[in-house]
Amino acid sequence: AVDQAVATGLTAALTALVGGALLTATGWAFLVRPRTLPRPTAVRGVAAGVTCAALAGALLVPPVLGPSAPRRCQGSSELCELRYDEIAHLTAHNAMSTTADRFIGPLQDPDITTQLDTGVRALQLDTYHWESPQDIAARLDNPEFTPEQRRLVSAA
């Protein structure tokens, strides 16, 4: 963080210094120029172009020359050398069952995109064929349950 603050401060100082030097040089050129030189509008255009180029260079050079940030994998540089199976990943159980998608009995509040944006890296998804309440009732009326399972369903 300190390196970034120093680089930003140096960039701001260099920008002001280069801009001031260019303005001073342009003013001096107007004072000492012979009257036979090109029209002032041509000189102004060249001065404006040089000023823009110098300011762009002053703003772009420090980030390019600065130290590159260390490689980070899932928020930590120590994880970059590990294989996928050597890392514990934040996982959302029944990630598709969200309040955002108006599931009955949702297990997650945000939708899948928001889960991924907030750091979830593994999604456990269940897929089912939708059954109406009538389909479920018909299946329960004639189940392929064992007698013990039928007693448990009846007791519930």
Q: What is the pLDDT of residues 16-66, one digit of tens each?
A: 777 788 778 877 777 776 666 556 676 677 777 788 777 777 666 665 565
Q: What is the pLDDT of residues 85-103, one digit of tens each?
A: 898 889 999 998 899 888 8
Dihedral of CA 92/96/101/107: which sign? negative
**Listed residue (44, 14, 38) closest to 26, CA to CA:** 44
Task: Give the global pTM.
Answer: 0.38
Per residue in 73-87, pLDDT tens? Answer: 888 888 889 998 898
Could you state, in order of their start, the residue ranges of all structural domains in the chain?
A: 2-65, 81-148
Residue pair 14/58 in contact by the 8 Å Cβ criterion: yes
